[in-house]
């Protein structure tokens, strides 16, 4: 078994565990697009491994890889948009100012494109070169998208809840490493160094999944979104306030707070 296949198997195992943990904790209710992003990564990883095991690095494998890049990019930006909406709800902001986010993304994309280089690798088929450039474009756009989200939230002075911050930390680490690897691969686009760079990128993905798993499952004592601690505190407060109107206000406050957890 090669290092690449071993890393892929570990990725599938971690991704499956994370998806199961999020389903049990019902995190998908507040972050369905992020959940879909993880499910797509899991399914595409299994499909790619099966195709590679059956036909090797064939045209079917590279075609599947292109579809994986496209789907991953679309769902990544969907998850970033969802992250921004959750931040607005947590901060009780009604005006999203998406035009500002678009401008920031355009600026970040321009800055990232200056650093990136788009020359194809010699000695490779057009399809493999397309995958090679697509991988680098995917890394550059995802890194630019994350920079735009951080800049947008900073200009809006938004407070980051713990769960949204955990998702953002994972994206920050994985996108930065992927973008850095894409820059290094321009210098070493073939040979053992290129393979080791790919291994490092896969390992970074494993670290991200392990971090999310720790945050969504191992670090939590109760299902996400259940609001158990909030309900207990409110129940104690309610016990000392017999007025029915105040009790109704407390229950309404509990419902609003639960939406933001």
What's the pLDDT tens digit per position in 17-38? 999 988 888 877 888 999 999 9
Nearest residue to 29 via CA among 198, 225, 237, 207: 225
Q: Distance between CA 89 and CA 91 in Å, rounded?
A: 5
Q: Which two tokens stand for residue 59?
A: 């045209």
Give residue for tokens 């986010």: 101
Question: How far is the CA of 79 from the CAs of 27, 36, 46, 204, 246, in angstroms?
Answer: 13, 8, 21, 19, 38
232, pLDDT greater than 50: no
Please, which pLDDT band fits residue 63 given cuts at 50, 70 and 90?
confident
Q: Which of 45-59, 106-120, 197-211, 219-233 has the lowest mean pLDDT?
A: 219-233
Cβ count near 163 (within 10 Å): 22
How many other CB atoms are found less than 10 A from the CB of residue 249? 13
Which pLDDT band holds residue 1 (cuts at 50, 70, 90)?
low
Own/partner contacts of 102-111, CB < 8 Å, gap of 24 or more, are 104/147, 104/148, 104/151, 104/152, 104/155, 105/144, 105/145, 105/148, 107/148, 108/143, 108/144, 108/145, 108/147, 108/148, 108/151, 109/140, 109/141, 109/144, 111/144
Question: Do 19 and 38 contact (CB within 8 A), yes or no?
Answer: yes
The string of pLDDT tens digits covering residues 182-221 is: 888 776 666 677 778 888 888 999 999 999 998 877 655 4
pLDDT(126) > 90: no
Mean pLDDT value across the chain: 79
Higher pLDDT, 216 or 256: 216
Tell me the helices (H) and strands (E) count for the chain, helix number first.
9, 0
Would you say residue 249 has pLDDT above 70?
Answer: no
pTM of the model: 0.78
- What's the pLDDT band for 168 if we cut at 50, 70, 90? very high
State the Cα–Cα distance between residues 56 and 71, nearest whole angstrom: 22
């Amino acid at each position: 078994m090669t290092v690449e296949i071993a890393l892929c198997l570990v990725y599938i195992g971690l991704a499956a565990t994370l998806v199961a943990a999020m389903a049990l904790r019902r995190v998908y209710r507040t972050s369905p697009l992020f959940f879909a992003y993880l499910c797509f990564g899991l399914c595409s990883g299994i499909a790619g491994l099966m195709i590679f095991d059956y036909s090797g690095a064939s045209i079917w494998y590279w075609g599947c890889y292109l579809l994986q890049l496209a789907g991953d990019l679309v769902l990544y930006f969907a998850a970033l948009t969802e992250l921004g909406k959750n931040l607005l709800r947590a901060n009780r902001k009604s005006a999203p100012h998406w035009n500002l986010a678009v401008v920031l993304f355009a600026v970040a994309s321009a800055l990232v494109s200056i650093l990136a280089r788009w020359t194809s690798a010699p000695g490779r088929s057009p399809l493999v070169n397309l995958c090679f450039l697509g991988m680098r474009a995917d890394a550059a756009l995802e890194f630019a998208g994350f920079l735009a989200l951080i800049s947008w939230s900073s200009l809006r002075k938004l407070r980051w809840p713990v769960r949204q911050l955990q998702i953002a930390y994972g994206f920050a680490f994985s996108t930065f490493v992927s973008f850095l690897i894409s820059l290094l691969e321009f210098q070493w686009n073939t040979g053992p160094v290129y393979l080791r760079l790919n291994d490092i990128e896969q390992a970074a993905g494993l670290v991200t999944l392990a971090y999310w798993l720790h945050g969504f499952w191992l670090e939590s004592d109760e299902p996400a979104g259940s609001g158990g601690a909030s309900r207990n505190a409110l129940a104690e407060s309610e016990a000392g306030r017999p007025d029915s109107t105040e009790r109704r206000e407390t229950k309404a406050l509990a419902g609003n707070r639960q939406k933001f957890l």
